[in-house]
Structure 1
Amino acid sequence: MDYEIFDLGDVTLQSGVTLPSAFLAYKTYGKLNENKDNVIVYPTAFGDQHVQNEWLIGDGMALNPQKYFIIVPNLLGNGLSSSPSNTPPPFDRANFPQVTIYDNVKLQYRLVTEKFSIQKIALVVGWSMGGIQSFQWGASYPDMVERIAPFAGTARTWPHTFVVLDGMKAPLMAAVDFDSSKLHQLTSADMRPVGRVYAGWGLSQAFYREELYRELGYDSLADFVAGVWEDSFMKMDPHNVLAMLWTGQFADISANPCYNGDFEAALKNIKALACIMPGSTDLFCTLHDNEYEAKFIPNAVLNPIESIWGHFAGRGINSADNKLINENLTRLLALHING
C-alpha cells in the first residue's frame, strides 16, 4: 500500500446522514518544514487516485518535494477513501450516502489540521473535480489558503456540465431499467458504455479531427475508444462512479451553511491569489464559465491552456500542456503573500 489512512470516526455529512468509521486515504510527498508553511494540497479528480496526480510532482518542478510538503487526499467515493466499494453494510454499494465537495474539503481540513497541525496552506491545486475542491478550499478557509490553482475545473457545476454528467450516469441506470432498487446488480461490464459517452466530452473536436490518438499509439478511432475509454472505465466500480457523479453534479462552492447558495459572495470571499487555467477547448468545464467566476475573485488571473486536448489538457498527457501548467504554478508560488 503506497498511501496512508486517516481515520475520521463517525462523520455527519451535509445531507445529515452519519457515515460510520469514515476515512481518508492520502499520500504525502516531501517533508513538512519547521514553520509548517511549505504545504501544498492537491486533491484528486473524478475517478482518479493519488497516483494519477504524480505527473505534476517532481524535483525541478513547481510541485517540488525537495521544497514543499505535498498532501494528496483521495476523493470520497474513489475506492481508496470511504467509498461504496469499501464501506460495510448498511452503507455499501448503492446505499452509500451522498457526499458533497464541501464534505470532502471539510474532511481534508481535518486531515491537515488534526494530523499535521498545519495552519497555513501555500497552495491548493487540482484538475477537474480537484479544481472545484481548490475553489472550495479558498471559499471555506479564506484566511488559511494563500494560493489556489484550479485547472480545467469550475467553482460550481453549471447546468450544461450537470447534463454531461447525467449522460454518463444514464447507461448505468439503463442497465437496471432505471429501477434504483436494482442498482446492486451493476458490474464493471456495465461501465463500458459510460466510457463511450465520456469519449465525446473528454477531448475536443479538433483532437479527433487531427487524429491525435495516433500519438498515443492507436491506429484507429475504434481502437482508441475501446483501448482508452472503455478500458479505463471498466476498471472502475460502478457504485463508486455513481457516488462521484453525484458529488460532481451537485458541486457548488456556495451550497453550504457559509454562503447559503450565494455563489458570487463565495467567489468574492476567496482571498487567495488565484491562477485559473481553463482548457481553451474544454467542452464541459469551459473557458467562459471560468471567465465569469474569475471576475468575482479579488486576486484572480485567468491563464487559459491553449490546447486542442479539451478537458484532458489538464490530465498530464500532452507535454506542451504540462509545461504551461507547471510554468504557471512556478510563477504563482513565487508571488509574495502580503501579511
Structure 2
Amino acid sequence: MPREYQTFPLGDFELQQGATLRGAVLAYTTYGALNDDRSNAVVYPTWYSGRHWENEWLIGEGMALDPARYFVIVPNMLGNGLSSSPSNTPPPYDGPSFPRVTFYDQVRAQHALVADHFGIEKLVAVTGWSMGAAQTFQWAVSYPEMVPKILPFCGSARTSEHNIVFLEAVKAAITTDAAYSGGRYERQPDQGLRAAARVYAGWGFSQAFYWQQLYREMGYSSLEDFLVGFWEGFFLDGRDANNLLAMLWTWQNGNVGNTPGFGGDHEAALASITAQAIVLPAEKDLYFPPEDEEYEVSFMPNAELRVIPGVWGHFAGGGENATDTAFIDAALKELLAD
C-alpha cells in the first residue's frame, strides 16, 4: 500500500514561465527523524510519473539512505498527481490548461519545504533517478551553499535533442487517441496510454536486455506478457494523461542553464556547481547515454563519472534488479562517508 503523505502549502506560487499557481501544494513524505541540529537531511526527488513510494527501493536499514541515520525527504514533483497537477488543480488552470513548470520551479518549491517548513539550512546531499537526477543537478546550481554533495543517476542537466524526439513520440501516442479530446476527456485515454507504454518499452531497457530475455527474470513469461503486464500496467496504474504531458514538458525543457543568471548557458551553470558529485549514467541507457554525462561532468569542477555496468538500460536506476541497486547504493555510501 502507498505510504501516507503530507502537503506543504506553497501559496500563490509564481512560475518561471510567468503563470501563478494559486493555492499550490507540494506533496511529500519523510523517512527517519530530523536530528536536533537539523544536519542529517537528504533530498530524494521523484521522477517522470513517479510517486514517493516508488522511491523506497533505495531507502532502508543498512543502505546508504538508512532512516536510522538520515532524514530522507521525498518531494513529489509538481504535475505527478499528488502535488499540484493538472488532475487536481481547479479551473482555470485545470487539465490541459495547467501552466508550464520548469525544473527550476520544482526545486524552488522543494527548497521552500526544506528551508521554511523544516528549518534546514544545509543538506547532507541530494540524489535522484532520471527526472530526479535533473532536479539533483538543479539543486546544486540553484542552492550551492546548501548542497555539498550530489549523486544524480541515469539523468542529465540538460535534455538532449534525441531525448526530446523520443518524448514527442510519447506525446503523440497520448494525444492522438480520440478519447483524449484536447485534454478535456471524461475518461482516461486508455488506448493512448497503452500506445505510449509501447513507445516507452523500446527505450526503457536496452537491446541487449531484450536479446537476453531478462524480462523473464522479472516474472514475465513472454515478450507480449512483458509489454502488457509491465509496460501497459505501468502507464495504467493511476497515471493521468494530462499529468504525464505536464511532466513531459518539464522533461523536454530541462536545462540548468535556464537558471536565472546564466542566460541559457548550461556549461556555465555546470561549472558553477561546487558540490562534490558522483554522476552515474547506465552503460546502455538510451535516454541518457554515458557519453552525454561524460560531457556534462567535464564542466563540473568536483565531479566523478562512474558508469553503471550491464544491460538494464535506463531501468538500471529503477530498482528492478539487485546488482544495479547495489552499485548505486555503494556509490552513495561512498559519497556520504567521504
With the length of structure 2 as denominator, give the TM-score of the two structures.
0.96
Give yes or no for contact 2:175–2:182 (8 Å, CA) kept in 1: no
Within 5 Å, give how 1:51-90 maps onto structure 2.
Answer: 51-90=53-92
Equivalent position to 2:299, from 278, 281, 296:
296
Deviations 1:168-193 (A, max 9, x none): 1111222249xx97221262413110
Q: 2:243 and 2:176 mapped to 1: Cα distance?
A: 17
- Indicate conservation of the 8 Å contact 1:188/1:234, yes or no: no
Asked if residue 183 in structure 1 is aligned to residue 183 in structure 2, the reply is yes
Of stretches 237-246 and 29-38 in structure 1, the one that deviates more from structure 2 is 29-38
Q: 1:176 touches 1:183 (CA, 8 Å); kept in 2?
A: no
CA distance in 1, matches of 2:304, 2:325: 18
The residue type equivalent to 2:184 in the other structure is: H
Aligned residue for 2:184, secondary structure, equals helix
Instruction: Return the alpha-carbon distance in structure 1 between the equivalents of residues 181 and 158 of structure 2.
Output: 30
Q: Which secondary structure state, in structure 1, belongs to the residue aligned with residue 13 of structure 2?
A: strand
Distance in 2 (CA, whole Å) between partners of 1:38 and 1:183 is 42
Distance 2:189 2:62 in 1: 39
Report the counterpart of residue 259 of structure 2 in structure 1: 256
Aligned equivalent of 2:246, options 243, 246, 251: 243
TM-score with structure 1 length normalisation? 0.96
Judge conservation of contact 1:140–1:258 (CA < 8 Å) in 2: no
Is 1:126 paired with 2:94?
A: no
Write the letter of the residue equivalent to 1:248: W
Deviation at 1:239, TM superposition (A): 0.5
Q: Offset of 1:160 from its aligned partner?
A: 0.5
8 Å Cα contact 1:44/1:126 also seen in 2: yes
- Residue 162 (structure 1) aligned to one of 164, 174, 179: 164
What is residue 265 of structure 1 aligned with on the other side? 268
The Cα of 1:61 is off from its aligned counterpart by 0.6
- 1:18-167 matched pairs, under 5 angstroms: 18-167=20-169
Q: Deviations over 1:275-315 (max 9, x none)?
A: 10000000011111100000111110111100200000000
Aligned equivalents of 2:257, 2:31: Cα separation in 1: 31
Mapped partners of 1:15, 1:184: distance in 2:
23
Structure 1 unaligned residues grouped into runs of 5+: none
| Correspondence 1:5-20 to 2 at 5 A | 5-20=7-22
CA RMSD of aligned residues (A): 1.3
User: Alignment partner of 2:256: what SS?
Assistant: coil
Extract unaligned runs of 5+ from structure 2: none
Amino acid at match of 1:246: W
C-alpha separation between the residues in 1 aligned to 2:151 and 2:188? 36
Cα displacement (A) at 1:106 = 0.5
Contact 1:132 1:156 in 2 (8 A): yes
CA distance in 2, matches of 1:110, 1:59: 28
SS in 2 for 1:85: coil
SS in 2 for 1:11: strand
Q: Does the 8 Å contact 2:177/2:189 carry over to 1?
A: no
Q: Residue deviations 1:65-109, cap 9 Å, x none?
A: 111111000011100000011111111111111101110000100
Within-5 A mapping of 1:204-219: 204-219=206-221
Q: Which amino acid aligns with 1:126?
A: G
Separation in 1, partners of 2:113, 2:60: 23
Compute the displacement of 1:258 (Å). Answer: 2.6
Paired residues of 1:50 and 1:74 also in contact (CA < 8 A): yes
- Tell me the SS of whatever aligns to 1:291: helix
Instruction: State the AA in 2 paired with 1:114.
Output: D
**Whole-Å Cα distance in 1 between the matches of residues 195 and 122 of structure 2?**
43
Determine the C-alpha separation between the residues in 2 that align with 1:45 and 1:168: 16
Give the aligned residue type for 1:50.
H
1:174 to 168, 173, 176: 176
User: Structure 1 stretch 166-175 or stretch 12-21: which is displaced more?
Assistant: 166-175
Q: For 1:140 and 1:286, how far apart are their aligned partners in 2?
A: 25
Other-structure match for 1:327: 330
Question: What displacement does 1:267 show?
Answer: 0.4
Aligned mates of 2:105, 2:160 — CA distance in 1: 19
1:166 to partner: Cα distance:
1.1
* CA–CA separation in structure 2 for the residues paired with 1:27 and 1:110: 15
